[in-house]
Amino acid sequence: MKRIVLDPAKCTGCRVCEAVCSLTNEGEFNPVKSRIRVVRTVENSILYSTPVFCLQCEEAYCQAVCPADAISWRREGLLLVDEDKCIGCKLCEIACPVGAITVNPEKRVAIKCNLCGELGEPQCVKYCYAEALQFLPAARVGISKARAKAEKFLEMQRREA
Amino acid sequence: MSRAGTILRVDLATEKVEKEATSAYVQDFVGGGAIGAKLIWDGVPPDVSGKDPKNMLTFNTGPLTGTLFGNKCEVMAKSPQLANSPVMTAGLGGQFASEMKFAGYDHLAITGKADEPVYLFINDENVEIRDAKHLWGLDTQQTQVRIKEELKDPDVQIACIGLAGENQNVYAMILHDIQNTASREGFGAVMGSKNLKAVAVRGTKGLKAGDPEACKDLWNEFFSEIKEGRGSLFARLSFREGIAAHIGDYGKFRDRGAWGYYESFVAPPMKKEETMADFVTKYKVHNVGCSFCPIQCQQNYNMPGVDTGGGACMFYEGYRYLVKSHDTTLWWRASAKAQRYGIEVNSIANITGWLMLLYEKGLITVEDTDGVPMEWGSEEAVMTVIDKVSKAEGFGKLFVDGAVPAAKVIAGGKGLGLLNQDRNRLSGAWHVGMGSRRTVMLGGPGASRLTRWANQTVFMHPMHTDMEGIIPWYARELGISNEESEKLIQGWASEWTEKQVGDRDAWRPESVRKKGAYLAASENAISACDISGHCDFLSDRGPHFGAQRVGVEETVQWISATTGTLCTKDMLLDAVQRKRLLEIAYNQLCDLSRAEEEVSYVKALDPVPDGYHKGDAIDLERSVEPGAEYCSRRGCDPATGLPLREELERLGLGDVAIRLGPLLAGPAPEAPSPQSAT
């Protein structure tokens, strides 16, 4: 099982992920219909940005709260919305702890990350130039995060060696 | 499909808002700056001055804007920077142009003057002219914060002016977000003259891809090129070190003492802490740039205790070389301040350097500059000039209409001949041969990119500055020697000019052969970007950056895929041709005698007396042959620079021929038909 891993410090706020996601899933260039959203804010002339996307919660509130039983596990690590079952009630949007599920204003059904299932790799990850997003086997995430965070300590050791 | 479909016209005087379909213009003009040129041609009499309420400020997106292939709009209006107010353009990227498209508008055309300060709020279908009295006097950052708070929407995108624009200084720029600007041509003053503090846009509609599968394939190709292909060299340079950090540190500027105003002084060797590379390492927060572009080529800086802000390319050069300072703290303090005031950094650095030169030569004293000595590299002097000019206070008032009017007054006019002494890319802010009949022919008047391009192409000596600056960087990146790197880049330049004009040497500064054709081809490549909404920094516009391989061929594929309607190379190049001929014709109708008068003050035609550039001169004779060749490529008469009647007719621009009327050689025009007599 693979999942999307984020390094927020690397995000430049370029929003390529939004455009690629909406193109792949909706045939549009439209942030509103993107399953990944980049939150940007400028404070005292400094830009802060981070992408927000579905983390595929193990115990998913969106699934729990859905009155139409429209959200279900496709396989381990991938929760999907069944557009035919979705009634557009938006309860999932309220329940989601990260703000990663919303309702397509045109089709009026819930949309969330589907990991670009058929393509084998989420397109937002594939085209993230800054490599803020990665698609990693779940078992490797821990060590890969640890590696990144440990770099400072490794650097100290290198200097001493 | 990837066109939003609507042109929005707003008259601030009558508060009238009109919407018009873009479709009527698309076949002939494609989009962007070409439609912008048509809007101005149709809607603004040539005798209107830049700050006149009748001037039309246009924001022109292209079919690629808001897609993965583009994000720019071309801001176009009559520029107040030149006495005859020609039509000029400045690119504006960031998130603003894409948001315009998402709100449903391809073009925005603003005329009239509001009675009191206002801002425009475009919220999808709803267009509102709102009071901005409480925003007047705020800087460019405060303005955006206040508007976002007031509209209760942090995702609204805002283009605004600061104090310089409010005071209608002709070097005022339009600023969006942190560092995205329409900096050239004084369009901030145009906004100020309309009492327009800001344009705020929020769009939620998105753009449907005409052919999504083709879009995905083309995007994959383009992304691979800038991620792994030859284009990745420049992309990596931009991403890692910033678009222009290298320019100040390398090449001609550092090695050859291009310093101040080209006297024989040679710049001392730089210490590490004086390099841009060092500044970037220490103070870069991260990269910033435009929507949907992987190469966030600009930089967001935080120098604790000094200021925060963003930067693209110019301030490093401006402050290091024009005011003779290697102090990065001073550059940053000045540049960040200029951004907050909304005044173009290189222009203000130029003004400062010129005053310092006059002070050194004893032509002015502290009395002329409100008690502040204009000593080379002085922080007090630098900050005073920014303050006074932006606020139009004290001696700063003299610069409201630009350097030439100021120079006529200051030092009894003795400093006039000292303007325009620079002859490389720093020429941006001054007007080398500005607005003359010759530059109307060659690339356009003023400080626009096309003009600078023309000046660099035809007159520059020695090698192209940007190319020279990039040699050591590519060498370092590829692990090769400077000589090998130079050969590699020259090879790319030759490859491009051979493909475009059939001559491997046309790019060489010393080569005159095919120079005019080369200029026309480069101009086509740049204009294709201005029309489509693609960024020319990621295009193959000649050897400017060497590595880029994306050109007009790719652009038309993108337009076809995103719009779902076939766009051929011929269609796009004809649109370029229509844009250029409209601009040329329009600017010929503007009062050229006033521009020629300005040129007569320019002494830049004299050879440089000493130093590395000794003997270099802008030799107008050198432009004769390329000029004639350029004209023949462009469909103009080499003798007059005017568009040829048959070319205008081929392009369906018969109305242009009629308006040019007696100026045009050839058979007398037929009686105007009712449709074409606009």
CATH code, domain carrying B446: 1.10.599
Rounded distance, CA A104 to CA A35, Å?
10
B102 with A41: Cβ contact below 8 A? no
Q: In terms of residue numbers, what domain contains A80?
A: 56-112
Considering CB atoms only, which of B68, B144, B145 is closest to A19?
B68
**Are B354 and B288 within one domain?**
yes
Question: Which residues of A fall below an 8 Å CB-CB distance to B?
Answer: 12-16, 18-20, 22-24, 27-33, 40-42, 44-47, 105, 127, 129-130
Q: Quick check: helix, strand or coil at residue B648?
A: helix
**Are B363 and B265 within one domain?**
yes
Q: Looking at this predicted complex, what is its ipTM?
A: 0.95
Give the largest CA-CA distance in chain B: 70
Query: Considering the domain boundaries, does residue B502 fall inside one?
Result: yes
For an interface test with B, give the residue of A16, A23, A29 to mutate (most B CBs within 10 A). A29
Which residues of chain A are within 8 Å of residue B288 when distances are taken between CB atoms?
A: 12-13, 47
Rounded distance, CA B497 to CA A143, Å?
51
Residues with Cβ within 8 Å of residue B259, at least 6 apart in sequence: B265, B266, B267, B321, B324
Is the pTM for the entire model greater than 0.90?
yes
- In this prediction, the residues of chain B whose per-residue pLDDT falls under 50 are 251-264, 421-447, 460-465, 543, 596-604, 668-669, 671-678
B102 with A30: Cβ contact below 8 A? yes
Considering CB atoms only, which of A24, A32, A42 is closest to B177?
A42
Q: What is the structure's pLDDT at B673?
A: 47
Pairing between β-strand B284-288 and β-strand B196-202 as defined by DSSP bridges: unpaired
Query: Considering the domain boundaries, does residue A100 fall inside one?
Result: yes
Q: Tell me the torsion sign for CA atoms B500, B530, B71, B281.
A: positive
For an interface test with B, give the residue of A12, A38, A41, A45 to mutate (most B CBs within 10 A). A45
**Are B237 and B274 within one domain?**
yes
B219 with A130: Cβ contact below 8 A? no
Which residues of chain B are within 8 Å of residue A27 when distances are taken between CB atoms?
A: 208-209, 212
A41 with B154: Cβ contact below 8 A? yes
B523 min Cα distance to partner chain A (Å): 28
Q: Quick check: helix, strand or coil at residue B346?
A: helix
Rounded distance, CA B490 to CA B470, Å?
11
A42 with B294: Cβ contact below 8 A? no
Q: Average pLDDT for consecutive 10-residue bins of chain A (161 residues)?
A: 93 96 97 97 94 96 97 93 97 97 96 92 96 95 91 91 84
A14 with B154: Cβ contact below 8 A? no
Q: What is the structure's pLDDT at B477?
A: 86
Q: What is the DSSP string of B158-214?
A: EEE--HHHHTT-TTB-EEETTTEEE-GGGHHHHHHHTTEEEEEEE----EE-SSHHH
**Are B92 and B196 within one domain?**
yes
The number of folded domains in chain A is: 1
**Cross-strand pairs, B126:** B123
Query: Considering the domain boundaries, does residue B667 fall inside one?
Result: no
What count of Cα atoms within 13 Å lies in the side-chain half-sphere of residue B361?
Answer: 14
Q: What is the structure's pLDDT at B74?
A: 96
Rounded distance, CA B198 to CA B195, Å?
9
The number of folded domains in chain B is: 3
Q: What is the Cα gyration radius of chain B?
A: 23
A16 with B292: Cβ contact below 8 A? yes
Inter-chain Cβ pairs, chain A and chain B, closer than 8 A: 105
Which residues of chain B are within 8 Å of residue A14 when distances are taken between CB atoms?
A: 289, 291-294, 296
Query: Considering the domain boundaries, does residue B674 fall inside one?
Result: no
A30 with B212: Cβ contact below 8 A? no
CATH code, domain carrying A106: 3.30.70.20
Q: In terms of residue numbers, what domain contains B149?
A: 6-202
Rounded distance, CA A63 to CA A78, Å?
12
